[in-house]
Chains A and B, each alone.
Chain A
Amino acid sequence: MNLKPVKYYVIFLVGLLAFYTYSLVTGMVFFPDKADKNTDFNSKKGHSGHINRFYHK
């Protein structure tokens, strides 16, 4: 197989496979459901806590 005509495509494919493997390792979904994240709740001192619901049981 002559890879010379597609050398840049081969580089792209290697990157694509690496990205795919990374997505499987980290559980990264390409098309997740839309979620409102509040992932730094404790770190923001001025956070109003507008999601005024029970975070702990």
Chain B
Amino acid sequence: MENLLSSSIGMSKQVHCSKCSAQITLFDFPKTEYFVCQSCYYYFHFYTTDEIRTNKRLDKPQFSPVLKLGSLGIIHDVEFKVIAYLEKKEQGNEYSWREYILISKEKGYATLAEFDGHWSFIAGENFFEDFKTPISYGISVGYKNVEYKLFNAYTPIVTAMLGELEWNIFEDRIKATEFIAPPFMIVKEESTKPKQTNYYLGEYLDQSEIARAFNIDFKTLPEQTGLGAIQPSKHYERWISSANISAIALVAVLLIFLAFSFFKPPKEVINDDFMIVYDGKESLDSFKSFVTPSFNIDDASTNIEFEIATAVDNNWFETNIILVNEADNRTWEVSKAIEYYHGYEDGESWTEGSTKETIMLSNIPKGKYHLNVYPSSGDVNRNNLYIKATTNVSMWGNTLTIILLLCIYPIICWYIMRYFEKKRWENSDYSPFINGN
């Protein structure tokens, strides 16, 4: 029990196993009270500085620790030394996970937990100095205005151990409750002996961070499978970013729309009621064609909307309208029907259609124009047609289309994010996705 070696954290001491004579290095002497022989797995107790008592023989660990005992690592700019390796399982369940107990000269104890290749760094207020007891809301806890949702509640059992500890971990009777808000977790540990409740803060660490912290090869770390309980979701980040940037774009669209409505207001170029006369020459329904007064379009390019109305009653009206550029005879020909029917049937009144319609034309260039109008109707007594033509019409259709396009990507991101979260919560008995919905 001699050969004291100094180190950056605590002191190292070498002892010989009283059962198999193997040499055991203790990395946190003289704080060490319990330690395990790595050869025969006997569990020893420093009863006094000079007296070591044999406790019991432990089971051989199922896995080899990937972080060697005594190795140094830097996490969040704090130097830690690995002093113990634990294999744990949940009481009543078969699955197990691994924990590495770390010690720092300045910050005391911390734990690195590894399950299915996912790593969590867990420490209390000795490490996270501003960490305080969170507010309990029953199935969740609140800390720094973030809600941590209940993910798991269990009784951990130590199945194997290597290294050394200051306390007898096999005497711990703990009920652990984990609340998550990825990439963070709050662990509540309630112990019966002594009766107390402690809270710890956990943070997800990527495999590359672990490899970098302990200066080991990334490939030596356990392969990742499934989703970690507090594995950060890149889909969540993408959803938040896409929703925020889309909201900003939406505001920009509305501002652009308002600016154009203000600086380029609608302009009426025709607003008149035209007399129409039944003709019946070309067909039984035809009326005499007519020409509207000329009007000017001053903008280099604009839209134009025609509103046509006539008081048809249980009848139809149809017209061809040709927009003619008087300078070069370019034309835009459209056809529109007005139908309005109503009646009383089975005790109920009904109506169908309307007595007015609108026509919208796009990209009409600057120039002097008139309309050639070719009416026809089932009602030969029709004698008027109201026409209103407006340029620079507010294009709500365009604006709504853009708004819909702005919604598509955030919706897709939200759906993927939700799918990811559902997969995460499949490992919990407390999933907020009830019945998997």
A residues neighboring B (CB under 8 Å): 1-6, 9-10, 12-13, 16-17, 20-21, 23-42, 51, 53-57
Contacts and interface: CB of A to CB of B under 8 A. Distances in A.
Nearest to A26: B301
A27 B363 contact: yes
B395 A24 contact: yes
A9 B242 contact: yes
A21 B398 contact: no
Given A24-B256, A34-B334, A5 B234 contact: yes
A33 B333 contact: no
Interface of B: 234, 237-238, 241-242, 244-246, 249, 252-253, 256-257, 260, 264, 289, 291, 294, 299-304, 322, 324, 326, 328-334, 336, 359-364, 370, 372, 374, 391-392, 395, 397-399, 401-402, 405-406, 409
B291 A54 contact: yes
Contact of A41 (B294, B328, B362, B370): B328
B45 to A, nearest CB: 51
Contacts of A12: 409
Contacts of A27: 299, 301-304, 362-364, 391-392, 395
Given A6-B241, A24-B260, A24-B395, A36 B359 contact: no
Contacts of A51: 322, 331, 333
Contacts of B322: 51, 53
Interface of B is mostly: mixed
A57 B363 CA distance: 24
A13 B245 contact: yes
A55 B324 CA distance: 6
A12 B322 CA distance: 38
A3 B330 contact: no
Contacts of A42: 328-330
A3 B241 contact: yes
Nearest to B324: A55
Contacts, number: 140
B295 to A, nearest CB: 12
Contacts of B329: 41-42, 55-56
Given A28-B362, A32-B362, 14 more contacts: A1-B244, A3-B241, A20-B398, A20-B402, A24-B395, A26-B363, A27-B395, A28-B398, A33-B359, A41-B331, A51-B322, A53-B289, A55-B324, A56-B326
Contact of B331 (A9, A29, A34, A39): A39
Contacts of A31: 360, 397, 401
B96 to A, nearest CB: 35
Contacts of A2: 237, 241
B266 to A, nearest CB: 11
A3 B252 CA distance: 17
B25 to A, nearest CB: 45
Contact of B395 (A4, A29, A35): A29
B409 A9 contact: yes
A9 B406 CA distance: 10
A28 B398 CA distance: 9
B330 A39 contact: yes
B122 to A, nearest CB: 26
Nearest to A40: B330
B336 A33 contact: yes
Given A24-B395, A27-B299, A17 B256 contact: yes
Contacts of B249: 13, 16-17
Contacts of A30: 395, 397-398, 401
Nearest to B242: A6
Given A6-B238, A9-B409, A27-B301, A38 B245 contact: no
Contacts of A37: 330-333
B366 to A, nearest CB: 11
Given A13-B246, A26-B363, A38-B331, A5 B299 contact: no
A9 B248 CA distance: 13
B331 A55 contact: yes
